[in-house]
Amino acid sequence: MALDGSYDHSLSRRAMQAELLDAETELTLAYAWRDNRDERALHRLITAYMRLAISMAAKFKRYGAPMNDLIQEASLGLMKAADKFDPDRGVRFSTYAVWWIKASIQDYVMRNWSMVRTGSTSSQKSLFFNMRRVQARLEREAAASGEQLDGHQLRQMIATEVGVPLHDVEMMEGRLSGSDYSLNATQSSADEGREWIETLEDGSDQASESVARDKDIDTLRGWLVSALGDLNERERFIVRERKLRDAPRTLESLGDELGLSKERVRQLEAAAFGKMRKTLEGQSREVHDFFA
């Protein structure tokens, strides 16, 4: 397989030269793989139907994906089909493999169509791969009967035809209307053209706002340290464990550690907050609610 993304036509030539399996041989190979895990039988089965995988991959070239990548995804689908095929069901392997090959290619196309996830449900996939075809048919039928459809009518008819909500059709129309563009692309062809990303509003704080906020935080921190300094060691311990930890401790756990009842710890906590409130109220009312 070509590594530069160009199509390696030798793949098609080798696939066309592979043997054609009759129903009996196909069944024998399928049993050999399912029952005995015979890898040679599996390889022979997959090789024989690579022409089918390549043929189906070619139908998706219009979505802009490299042909070699499409063939690779088709091959993966073919291998999944061979691994899961049950010869007792009485159907030809090619009939069964078509679904797996198509599903694998469609998943790849939708993953790579846009940086924005297009959708992955069965109804969204059906809309993605059939919307343009259905739209073209509806427009032809309307023109033949002399009708003039506006955009909303056409989208509503597509939604009904495919069996999806109207908003899905509107979303998919936007996704199919054009390719993604890099924000680092320039707005003009000039060498010094401004990049599109430069037109986006900066949502971060301005320097003046950051400085003011940092100053306020430092002031509040100083007030808090001062208020804690007015407490005794036990009161500071209780306040620190109850209010300044990421996971505040319970009154009961502090009581067990200090040898006090849960109610007594609550009283000490209330008294400590009262002292701190008095200190802080003398400096500012801004943090009063913290201790309410």
Q: Is residue 203 in a domain?
A: no
Residue 4 lies in a domain: no
Per the rule left: phi > 0, alpha: psi between -120 and 50, beta: everything else, 64 is left
Same domain, yes or no, for 14 and 105? yes
Which tokens in the block code for residue 164? 């999806």
DSSP 8-state assignment for residue 171: H
Domain boundary residue among 90, 113, 136?
113
Whether the CB-CB separation of 94 and 52 falls below 8 Å is answered with: yes
Burial, 86: exposed, middle or buried (Cβ in 10 Å; 0-12, 13-18, 19+)?
exposed
Is 140 in the same domain as 89? no
How many CA atoms, within 13 angstroms, populate the side-chain half-sphere of residue 187? 8
The CA distances from residue 274 to 171, 231, 235, 236, in Å, are 58, 10, 11, 13
Q: Are residues 90 and 28 part of one domain?
A: yes
What local confidence, expressed as pLDDT, does residue 27 receive? 93
Highest-confidence segment of 28-42, 106-120, 142-156, 162-176: 28-42
Choose from 82-91, 179-188, 210-219 the range with maximum mean pLDDT. 82-91
Per the CB < 8 A criterion, the answer to whether 60 and 44 are in contact is no
Identify whether residues 54 and 102 lie together within a single domain. Answer: yes
| Euclidean distance between CA atoms 231 and 276, whole angstroms | 8
pLDDT band for 39, please (50, 70, 90 cuts).
very high
Do 262 and 284 lie in a common domain?
yes
Residue among 118, 120, 52 at smallest CA distance from 82: 52
> Which residue in 231, 243, 239, 238 sits closest to 279, CA to CA?
231
What value does the mean pLDDT take over residues 238-242?
A: 87
Return the structure tokens found at 13.
């030539």
Count other Cβ atoms within 10 Å, centred on residue 142: 15
Tell whether the model's pLDDT for residue 2 goes beyond 50. no
Do 165 and 256 fall into the same domain? no
pLDDT of 245 strictly over 90: no
Of 135, 186, 178, nearest to 156 by C-alpha is 135
Looking at the structure, tell me whether residues 31 and 100 fall in a common domain.
Answer: yes
Both 44 and 93 in one domain: the answer is yes
C-alpha distance across the termini of the chain, in Å: 72
Domain count, the chain: 3
**Weakest mean pLDDT among 42-46, 71-75, 126-130, 259-263:** 126-130
pLDDT at residue 80 tops 90? yes
Average pLDDT for 274-290? 67
Per the CB < 8 A criterion, the answer to whether 106 and 118 are in contact is no
Residue with tokens 């979303």: 171
CATH of residue 80 = 1.20.120.1810
pLDDT given at position 218? 77
Residue 202 placed within a domain: no
191 within a domain of the structure (yes/no): no
The CATH number for 278's domain is 1.10.10.10
| Same domain as 221, residue 284 | yes
Tokens, residue 183 = 């924000």
Which residue carries 């909500």 as its tokens? 165
- The least confident of 80-89, 97-106, 171-180, 217-226 is 171-180
Query: Is residue 126, in this structure, part of any structural domain at all?
Result: yes
Between 230 and 289, where is the model more confident? 230
Helix (H, G, I), strand (E, B) or coil at 49: coil
Confidence of residue 203 (pLDDT cuts 50, 70, 90): low
77 and 14 in a common domain: yes
Is residue 199 a part of any domain in this protein? no
Sign of dihedral through CA atoms 277, 278, 280, 281? positive
Identify the CA nearest to 119 among candidates 72, 57, 175: 175
Residue 193 pLDDT > 70: no
Q: List the domain range (segments joined by +) for residue 99.
A: 9-113
- Please give the Cα distance from 238 to 240 (Å, whole number): 5
Q: In this predicted structure, what is the pLDDT of residue 5?
A: 46
Q: Is residue 217 part of a domain?
A: yes
User: Are residue 90 and residue 17 in the same domain, yes or no?
Assistant: yes
Q: Whole-number mean pLDDT of the chain?
A: 78
For residues 215 and 275, the answer to whether their CB atoms sit within 8 Å is no
Compare 1 and 182 and report the one with higher pLDDT: 182
Residue range 74-92: mean pLDDT, rounded = 92
User: Crossing angle, helix 122-144 and helix 151-162, to 10 degrees?
Assistant: 130
pLDDT, one tens digit per residue, over 95-143 is: 999 999 988 988 888 777 654 445 556 667 777 777 777 888 888 888 8
Residue 64 is assigned to a structural domain of this protein = yes
Do 29 and 57 belong to one domain?
yes
